[in-house]
Amino acid sequence: MLITAAILAIFVYGMIAAMLGTILPDLSKRFSLSPNQNGKIAMMQAVGLMIGSFFVGPLIDVYGVKIGLLIGLGLVTAALFGLRGAAGFTSIAGFMLLLGTGGGAIVVGANGLPPFIKIESLETAGVFNLLNLFFGLGGLITPLVAANLFKNNSARLLIFAASITALTFAFSGITGMPAPSGTVAFSPAQAGSLLGNVQLLLLALFLFLYVACEVGVWNWLARHLIAQGLPESRALTILSLGFALGLLLGRVAVSPVLSSVTPERVLLASAVLMAVTTFLMLQGGSPTMAWALVFLGGIAMAPVFPTTLAVVSARFAETAATATGIAVTAGWLGLVCSSPIIGGIAGDDPKRLKKALLLLPVASVLMAIVMLGL
């Protein structure tokens, strides 16, 4: 049941990660939203992610994983139902803030479970990646279902996602989860000590840059492809069967590799491959070529988030949830910064997204430099 609870929670977060990029074209048409407003909406989600991940970490260290997961799943359920009745830019931004807060709590809570799960022949970093492949599955299903089952009707998609989240909340409620270790009594001074740790700061900076890249793809790739002349349904299919499928398969492939290669070397290789693939995916070409490059981009990014969290958990075992919360919060700060920059560069012209998204390969190069420093 613990493995199932972890899978469901990570799957729900995968749906959330792909949600904004999936519903944004429909919402933009219905409410005449500009790319600049799209960027502000994405920033509100990122602010919520920071709030949820930062504050739930200490809560989990003191009271256990279950409380963090239930708070996150409850907030996400409420936000998804609320988005269905949103009336314009302001209400959409408000519900995205709530969605982000719940999502941040889910990420820290769900990634607090892998150290307690033992899978034969896999190191802890491999377990993180294997479970997080369901993030890719959630991200794959959201745009695929939206385009092919719900015909880009965002209201029906939101009800579908909210129902799955509510069921996950119920399952988590009846599942026994690890209690807090009892070795640490959290205090603000302890958080301050972690914030001054150079290793944690480097890992946090690495996630800051990575999330700017990954969520940049989730939120902006479909709009970029549509601006290049692809139909909306084709663009969403490329996002799901390209990027999300790459994330899913990449995590399956890397899990056994982490039994013989150090996590830090895997992260360095991923950063280099990200720099190459994110640059090439913006260069145009046929829909088939676009799919192939987006798929390879997903493969390159696949190990980064779970493997980084595994490194954080291993290096800060006694305060794992708090350290994870700090690192993940830095990641969401990357979204806070990148989305307004991308939206601001594009302005009111979606065709300028090609130039704005060059932020992704630049951030990937900086990731490689940071990992060399670590």
Dihedral angle over CA of 285, 335, 7, 20, nearest 10: -60
Q: How many domains does the chain have?
A: 1
Nearest to 248 by CA among 301, 287, 207, 212: 301
* pLDDT greater than 70 at residue 187: no
Measured between alpha carbons, how far is 96 from 320 in angstroms, rounded to an integer? Answer: 27
Residue 245's pLDDT band (cuts 50, 70, 90):
confident
* pLDDT greater than 80 at residue 261: yes
Average pLDDT of the residues in 366-370: 96
Determine the pLDDT at residue 319: 74
Average pLDDT of the residues in 125-130: 79
Residues 6+ apart with CB under 8 A from 90: none
* pLDDT greater than 90 at residue 72: yes
Per DSSP, the three-state class of 203 is helix
* pLDDT greater than 80 at residue 340: no
pTM attached to this predicted model = 0.74
Each residue of 197-240: pLDDT tens digit? 889 999 999 999 998 998 788 778 888 888 888 888 788 778 77
Residues 6+ apart with CB under 8 A from 49: 100, 101, 103, 104, 107, 328, 329, 332, 335
Determine the pLDDT at residue 188: 54
* pLDDT greater than 80 at residue 258: yes
Share of the chain above pLDDT 70, in %: 95
Question: Is 206 inside a domain boundary?
Answer: yes
Average pLDDT of the residues in 105-118: 83
* Helices and strands (H and E) in the chain: how many: 16, 0
Determine the pLDDT at residue 191: 58
Token pair 């991940």 is found at 53
Question: Is 270 inside a domain boundary?
Answer: yes
Q: What is the mean pLDDT of the chain?
A: 85
Determine the pLDDT at residue 181: 56
Per DSSP, the three-state class of 71 is helix
Least confident of 43-57, 71-85, 155-169: 43-57
Q: Tell me the CA distances in angstroms from 59 to 29, 56, 69, 325, one per residue in order.
A: 40, 5, 11, 10
Whichever domain contains 21, its CATH number is 1.20.1250.20
Supply the range of the domain harboring residue 24: 2-178+189-373
* pLDDT greater than 70 at residue 323: yes
Nearest to 22 by CA among 295, 290, 235: 235
- DSSP designation for 64: -
Residue 63's pLDDT band (cuts 50, 70, 90):
confident
* pLDDT greater than 70 at residue 192: no
Each residue of 74-106: pLDDT tens digit? 999 999 999 988 888 999 999 999 999 999 999
Question: Is 310 inside a domain boundary?
Answer: yes
Question: Is 184 inside a domain boundary?
Answer: no
Question: Is 183 inside a domain boundary?
Answer: no
Determine the pLDDT at residue 182: 52
